[in-house]
Amino acid sequence: MIAFKTTALWFWMNNRAINGALECNGRNPDQMNARVRYYRQYCQQLGVDPGSNLTC
């Protein structure tokens, strides 16, 4: 379980292109905001800081 959490956080912090083509530049702000909200919830559950650069 720890390996999964570590890998997920590493990918998020290093490869911010998750759904970028579909969400960025005003294409789908509701979906982007939902993704950021879910990510913050996961970080809170894991007790880690989500960082500040979460949107496109």
Identify which has the larger pLDDT, 13 or 6: 6
Domain annotation covers residue 55: no
Joined tokens for residue 8? 């997920």
Residue range of the domain that includes 28: 20-50
Which residues, at least 6 apart from 9, have a Cβ–Cβ distance to it below 8 Å?
46, 48
Question: How many domains in the chain?
Answer: 1
On whether residue 25 sits in a domain, the answer given is yes
In a domain, 5, yes or no: no
The answer to whether residue 3 is domain-embedded is: no
On whether residue 28 sits in a domain, the answer given is yes
Q: Is residue 45 part of a domain?
A: yes
Does the residue 40 lie in any domain? yes
The b/e string for 8-46 (b: 16+ C-beta within 10 A; e otherwise) is: ebeebeeeeeeeeeebeeeeeeeebeebeeebeeebeee
Given this model, what pLDDT does residue 41 score?
93
pLDDT in tens, 25-39: 777 888 888 888 988
**Domain membership flag for residue 24:** yes
Is 18 in contact with 56 (CB distance < 8 Å)? no
Q: Does pLDDT of 18 surpass 60? A: no
**pTM recorded for the entire structure:** 0.61
